[in-house]
Amino acid sequence: MRLYCCFILLTLASAASGEWKVSSDAILTRWGKQVKPENAWQEYPRPQFRREDNWKNLNGLWQYGVRKSEQVPKVYQGDILVPFPVESALSGVQRLLAPDETLWYRRMFQHQTPKGHRTHLHFEAVDYECTVYLNGMKIGSHKGSSDPFKFDITDALHPGDNELIVRVIDKTAPSQTLGKQSLKPKGIYYTRVSGIWQTVWLEDVPERHFRMVKMKPRITEGTLRVLPTLEGEPLKAERIVITVRDGDRVVGVADAALSVRIPDPKLWSPGNPSLYEITMELFDGEDLVDRVESYAAMREIGTVRGPAGQIRMTLNGKVVFHYGPLDQGWWPDGLLTPPSDAAMRFDIDYLKKSGFNMIRKHIKVESRRYYAHCDRIGMMIWQDMPSTGGRPFWSKLAPNPVEDEWPADQHEQFVNELKSMVGSLRNHPSIVMWIPFNERWGQHETIRVGQLMENLDVTRLVNIASGGNFFPVGDVVDRHNYPEPMFPFEDQRFNDYVKVVGEFGGHGLVVPGHQWNSEMRNWGYGDLPATKNEYKKRYRRSFEELMKLRRRGVAAGVYTQTTDVEGEVNGLMTYDREVQKMTAEELRELHAPARF
């Protein structure tokens, strides 16, 4: 399809449809107050596969239009700040996209591809169906909520100005990977998110270049295999040089099998998050063609049966109890998009200072910078797949579970997004567990999905359905219970699985002046405490109950949750992050004797 709109290019170029500004009624975080079009998410978006000299950030002010027609607008309605979703305050639009509407984006840019290179256009995430046009030519389409994708736009680029148009359709339909998005937000469901919600950028790559890499550490052998994939026409005298460094010290250079021996390796853990820097170089004879900077960690995840017969999780061969919060990753000003990189890191740093060693990233995939920060500070991640909308009967851990029956095309789309999540995040040492389903939300073909996960990644544990209907696949059996944790130890079906309490707690506390909407139901699990002291006592009681379960064989616990989110006031912090209901120091003092 071509967009024959050249005759209105001058009109489009001059139609500055409105000035970007945030609504005066918006709830802004301290970071949101600092956001400007020129500073919106300017950081390099792919920290584990870096070509930092050859990229251009396209975040900032774009034009937008919302129409029920799928024809490109002749006049756009205003300015939108990318990468904030159209429903968010920081986008400057703060408009709900209806299921029968189409969202259009447009911006102009200039770019000249260097000789011997190709130019790639990257989208870190667009929700949900998008089609991209450059200078009137369709260059590609994508379907998904959270996965990064790219297009080679070299042949569509023009000298001088280039017109980039993105069309988005987002029905927020049950078949989509929605996470907590809803057309009717209330309770545990939140405002929907549509369109571009992570960084858009350009990258120039050599015609023959590194496309991706897989890291394979083997701590018992003391080796790290670095396995890059190349793209483009092979070179005549092609050779790859891979160098591994510990700080400024060269540890080794890869052999012909792309393996580097690391004597006495420093192992990654929450207490000592050691990382090795990696340089991958592609040569044609003696000429350097491409260079990519990366990093990896020497760490291994496993399980072991303890003296009492219970199975525990191990990190580098040592038993580690996992304790952390359920982390939704929502923001009052950016919704799914944090207002800034500093804001995103603030949440992780608060949890680290509080003595947690793990985060359950709840039915959301964050930007790749999020996981890189967890890699560097030492925070383990349980990574959920964003859930779909189906709701089969919730039998929890009872025998004879049921699951949804899905059409083949919907299952294929779910699997494509699941594979993309694993593929884009698999090298991050912080991720220690995959969770394909939350509770029974969209739970279907459970055994088949579990087997797929085991084949996709043999280096991590699989928790097939956190708190969901139990099927015998994967490594973990997971019980949700509110407000106090519990686990059915008496059921012999669970003897060969790691036992975890994947959600508990959820104690609420309203902090006046820091609510999303004081007129809606503000709630937590159980009745709301009258005072902050009562709130703290409830947290302590729930934590102590978890420690009792730990002694009986539970290997991990997940407390709900890091922050308040919209009507949920059960966070350790308020939604705007301004009030810590329990300070990091208070939490760390309480957690310290448990020695996670």
Cα–Cα distances (Å) from 295 to 276, 278, 304, 376, in that order, read 5, 5, 28, 10
Residue 28, in any domain of the structure: yes
Question: How many domains does one find in the chain?
Answer: 3
The single-letter code of the amino acid at 275 is L
Residue 227, in any domain of the structure: yes
Residue 458 tokens read as 């043999």
Q: Is 80 exceeded by the pLDDT of residue 427?
A: yes
Q: What is the DSSP track for 255-281?
A: -TTSEEE-SSPPBB-SS-B--EEEEEE
Residues 306 and 289 placed together within one structural domain of the fold: no
Contact yes or no for 445/233 (Cβ under 8 A): no
The model's confidence at residue 18, banded by pLDDT at 50, 70 and 90, is low
What's phi and psi for 499, nearest 5 deg? -100, 125
The CATH code of the domain that includes 367 is 3.20.20.80
Domain boundary among 170, 205, 240: 205
CA count, 13 A, side-chain hemisphere, 463:
30
The CATH code of the domain that includes 270 is 2.60.40.10
Residues 540 and 406 placed together within one structural domain of the fold: yes
Residues 285 and 343 placed together within one structural domain of the fold: no
- Mean pLDDT to the nearest integer, 479-491: 97
Residue 210, in any domain of the structure: no
Structural domain containing residue 127? 6-205
Residue 489, in any domain of the structure: yes
Residue 35, in any domain of the structure: yes
Residue 348, in any domain of the structure: yes
The CATH code of the domain that includes 135 is 2.60.120.260
Q: What is the pTM of this model?
A: 0.95
Specify the pLDDT at position 255. Answer: 86
For residue range 428-474, list pLDDT tens digits in order.
999 999 999 999 999 999 999 999 999 999 999 999 999 999 999 99
For residue range 221-233, list pLDDT tens digits in order.
999 999 999 999 9
Residue 214, in any domain of the structure: no
Residues 278 and 379 placed together within one structural domain of the fold: no
For residue range 361-416, list pLDDT tens digits in order.
999 999 999 999 999 999 999 999 999 988 999 998 999 999 999 999 999 999 99
